[in-house]
């Protein structure tokens, strides 16, 4: 997952998944993830977590899905910008400091209700107007 919260994935053929994959991981380009690595330091490793495996119920072809942890390829330390690592560190801190016994993380689902939307785009101008009775600009009406 990247910083804006978009789920990221890549696919490998079943024949490429070996026992060594769970020890060595698979390399990928960290520069392709927004906010992760610069192009000159882009090598990263994904380490599959077998306990997360499930069959994708929506895939046309039989597809096994596994969530992975991200590691630095040289030090093999967990990557500091991996959201799973951040959540793991936060949970460990809260447990160690006695704040809680467990932490639960999930997506924030939100939506907006608009009363009216107008827009136009042409060769030399463009605009959009959004009207919502809940908008801050309507305070005091």
Give, rounded to a whole angstrom, the gap between the first and last alpha carbons of the chain: 42
Q: Note the pLDDT tens digit of each residue in 18-59.
A: 999 999 999 887 777 766 776 777 788 999 999 999 999 999
- The dihedral sign for the CA sequence 3, 5, 6, 12: positive
CB atoms within 10 A of CB 45: 19
CB atoms within 10 A of CB 3: 11
Strand partners, 26: 46
Q: Where are the domains of the chain?
A: 14-81
- Given a cut of 90, is residue 134 above it in pLDDT? no
- Given a cut of 70, is residue 1 above it in pLDDT? no
User: How far apart, in whole angstroms, are the C-alpha atoms of residue 43 and residue 73?
Assistant: 7
Tokens standing for residue 27: 């390399």
Question: Do residues 36 and 81 lie in contact, with contact meaning Cβ atoms separated by under 8 Å?
Answer: yes
Predicted pLDDT at 29:
79
What letter would DSSP give residue 80? Answer: T
User: How far apart, in whole angstroms, are the C-alpha atoms of residue 99 and residue 21?
Assistant: 36
- The dihedral sign for the CA sequence 46, 47, 50, 51: negative
Predicted pLDDT at 35:
66
Predicted pLDDT at 96:
96
Q: Architecture of 14-81 per CATH? A: Roll (3.10)
């Amino acid at each position: 997952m990247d910083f804006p919260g978009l789920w990221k994935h890549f696919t490998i053929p079943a024949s490429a998944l070996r026992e060594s994959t769970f020890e060595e991981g698979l390399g990928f380009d960290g520069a392709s993830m927004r906010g992760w690595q610069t192009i000159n330091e882009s090598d990263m490793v994904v380490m599959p977590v077998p306990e997360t495996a499930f069959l994708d119920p929506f895939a046309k072809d039989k597809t096994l899905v596994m969530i992975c942890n991200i590691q630095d390829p040289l030090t093999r330390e967990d990557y500091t910008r991996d959201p799973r690592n951040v959540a793991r560190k936060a949970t460990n801190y809260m447990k160690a400091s006695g704040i809680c016994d467990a932490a639960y993380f999930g997506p924030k689902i939100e939506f907006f209700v608009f009363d009216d939307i107008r827009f136009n785009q042409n060769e030399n101008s463009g605009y959009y107007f959004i009207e919502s009775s809940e908008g801050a600009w309507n305070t005091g009406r």
